[in-house]
Structure 1
Amino acid sequence: MSLRNILVISGGGFQGLGLIKALRAVTGTRILVGDCYAENVARYFSDAFFLLPLIKEEQAFLNFVLDLCERESVNAIFASTDYELELLARHRDTFAAQNVTVYVSNIPLLELANDKLLFYRWLLREGLPCLPCYTTHQDTNAAFPLIGKPRHGWGSRGLHILADRETTSAISIEENEDLVWQPCLKDFDEYSIDFSINVMGNISPLAFRRRIRSLGGFAILCEPYAPENIQSIARLTIEHLIPLGARGPMNLQILRAYDDTCWVSDLNPRAGTSMPLSLAIGLNPLAFLLTDGAVDSNFSNHSSVQGSRARTLRYLEERSIPDLQLNEVRGIVFDLDDTLLDQKAWMISKLELTWHEERAVLPERAVFLSMALQIIEEGNRAYLFDALCLQLGLDDTIRLRLIETYRKARPEDIPLYSDVPSTLYQLRKLGYRIAILSDNPPVSQRQKLDVCGLLPLIDTLVLTAELGTQKPDPHAFIECTRLLELPPDQIVMVGDNLFRDMRGSFDAGYRHSFHVQRAGAFFNFNPNLALRVSSVMLTCTTITNLNELFWHLTGVATP
């Protein structure tokens, strides 16, 4: 099982969170965050965090990152902020010698994007739509009111509005030197476009959105839509950027007056902080880069959510992280179905293969799969073929044949949850011993593990049926401790079933348990109700994805 190891530089802040969210959606990606601040938000959402030297200590910074790339087998680097762009661009070849792709634009493009005056002059030279720009607010050709933007700034910070020539004295000479002036529009819409350009110069699908509300320069409410003229201008502008070395994730902004006149206003040579708004409609610029432009599997059809009735919004979410004191933990036991593997997806894949083999006696594919999924979702999966054959009027001979065909069906796809490969890899790297403990028929479970390629990432496998029991029998959990060669109080359990996984591990004396609640899984437990009726929940923590294990499991201490 191969993993992409992706390093996000200066990724500790909100800029890094946007990149992490996009990377997390790309299956088989292990996310490493590097930042000069040890305590930061993004480290809690990465697979591993590394404290970096300050960027201004260039050689020390470069040496550390190069060594980190070698130690962690890094495949690609993304930049979170403007501060590291130029340094990474200058040393692109050094990283390439270690087979590390740096998704940062070339120096000429960075110089253009980081100076609004240079950018506006370039737009005008290229014949691209841009408002007139002036180096001083006292320019005789200036058309008031004027807006002064910091040449090297971003967002809405540091803006100056001059209503008329009489107010020009309010701007000092020093302030004016760092500003570029343009006519100040009264009524207009602002469109933001997220996109990426791969190393071959190919452009990803463009994610358009009209800003409805912004706060402190951050878009918080948008409409995922752009009229045709905005789309044409965006594509033309991006095509002109490619010869300058535009690469990696980027963001372009265009203004549109109510008379339909448009002007390019800003270019960000990195992923914008509001890129998650593009993810909300199924467009992921980073997936385009990491999958060699295989957009069919990474970009959804978002046409249905475009238009004046659709909205994308961002909001803050709060989490509390308790101190579980798990420093002595040395081993982790995982359940399989609906913890590591999407059981419903696996069943549907096998049913599709079953239909293909037995379609002569079955209704059309969509009807068959719809009937089967309804039975599965309504909780009758143990008697799936009994219920199917009853509904379809098929005799017992055909029922038995369908069951045998289903058992032999071997899907080629891997219905692992996207956080599984990177989490197991990182836990092993941190020194933990790992086991899988699973019910269900051994032949079925071994087939899943073989297809998914999980066995190389674990130390031992315990199938309860081979022990003549099933969870929550503590004997099955004790067998894991024996094979892991660890006492129960040095082991934690991770599973989706409060009454089987959590109860069994509690009775076996495990140190703690983690209840992972997957969207769309077979069980949707209410932890608060469980707490009312059972003391098990006192030694259980509910998580929404496996990455949250790293909030509590930070590594096995060496003697």
Structure 2
Amino acid sequence: MVLNGIKAIIFDLDNTLIDTAGASKQAIEEVMKILIDKEQYTEKDAHIICDRFQAKLLHENLDHSKMTIDDLRILHWEEALQSIRPGDHKEVAKVCYTLWKTSRLELMTLSESIKNMLIELRKQARLALLTNGERQVQREKIEACGASHFFDAIVVGGEHAEEKPAPSIFLHCCNLLAVKPEECVMVGDNLDTDIRGGLNAGLKATVWLNKNSSFSSNPYIVPHYTINSVVDLPDVLKNLK
């Protein structure tokens, strides 16, 4: 495969290379079983508890001087449990969190087809992994799926002043890979962060992973290419102009 003018490729992690959404869903199902079978919650209440925990994940505000991300997420479970049954639920919250976290990480894997694709691409281009999120959480995912073996650079947004879609973090990746933006391609599933950021940073091309064949949620963000599976990327790169 000949990569026309492409010297580097930047990949998103969550829901691009690993199925974070699927892993999270299965992990929640494991916690549901514990809540129903061991803690004697009704199925309805167990659903409410899990939904409230997941809602808290979307609006986290971690102060590292006061607690760790693990402590914060145990607190999320505790508050969700208290919303159904007032009282002391610290121990149950720890059990829920440990099970959720462990199950989730175990399910975050790189498929053989994705590994093979990365190996082949790396023979002709430098590869970077660029992921948003809290440092510990993202580093644990990267370790769990063994991604470090396949990339020349790994950048976690939570370790920098700005995350995607800020152009600065894309340009930082380019610097690490020793390439110009116009020699680099961005691949990701999120229009607002991956594609917007790649466009604003002036990368050669952006490739949107649209697994559900849905319409763009933002008509003002137009990727150069769209694929339904990340393993279709080499076909795009071969024909990229």
Give the TM-score normalised by structure 1.
0.34
Which residue, out of 101, 107, 121, partners 1:427? 121
CA contact (8 A) 2:49 2:81 kept: no
Alignment of 1:503-522 (within 5 A): 503-519=196-212
Distance 1:356 1:514, change over 3 A: same
Structure with higher helix content: 2
Residue 15 of structure 2 is aligned to residue 338 of structure 1: yes
Aligned to 2:147: 454
CA contact (8 A) 1:346 1:415 kept: no
Aligned to 2:71: none
Which residue, out of 157, 161, 176, partners 1:468? 161
Aligned to 1:328: 5
CA contact (8 A) 2:49 2:84 kept: no
Residue 193 of structure 2 is aligned to residue 500 of structure 1: yes
Distance 1:456 1:326, change over 3 A: closer
CA contact (8 A) 1:419 1:545 kept: no
The one-letter code matched in structure 2 to 1:481 is: C
Paired with 1:403 and 1:369, the residues of 2 have a C-alpha distance of 11
Residue 81 of structure 2 is aligned to residue 389 of structure 1: yes
Which residue, out of 459, 482, 489, partners 2:175? 482
Which residue, out of 170, 174, 184, partners 1:491? 184
Higher relative contact order (CA 8 A, sep 6+): 2
Where 2:238 maps in the other structure, the secondary structure is coil
Distance 1:349 1:330, change over 3 A: same
Give the greater-gyration-radius structure (CA): 1
Aligned to 1:211: none
Distance 1:525 1:443, change over 3 A: farther
Structure with higher strand content: 1
1:207-247 CA distances to partner (integer Å, 9 max, x unpaired)?
Answer: xxxxxxxxxxxxxxxxxxxxxxxxxxxxxxxxxxxxxxxxx
Aligned to 2:68: none
The one-letter code matched in structure 1 to 2:193 is: R
Which residue, out of 438, 442, 451, partners 2:131? 438
The one-letter code matched in structure 1 to 2:117 is: T
Aligned to 1:205: none
**Structure 2 runs not aligned, ≥5 long:** 60-75
Distance 1:499 1:408, change over 3 A: closer
Structure 1 position 441, deviation (Å): 1.5
CA contact (8 A) 1:357 1:405 kept: no
Identity of aligned residues (%): 25
1:80-138 CA distances to partner (integer Å, 9 max, x unpaired)?
Answer: xxxxxxxxxxxxxxxxxxxxxxxxxxxxxxxxxxxxxxxxxxxxxxxxxxxxxxxxxxx
CA contact (8 A) 1:333 1:434 kept: yes
Paired with 2:81 and 2:185, the residues of 1 have a C-alpha distance of 42
Paired with 2:208 and 2:143, the residues of 1 have a C-alpha distance of 25
Aligned to 2:73: none
Alignment of 1:241-256 (within 5 A): none
Which residue, out of 212, 217, 226, partners 1:542? 226
Paired with 2:236 and 2:176, the residues of 1 have a C-alpha distance of 24
Alignment of 1:114-263 (within 5 A): none
Aligned to 1:302: none
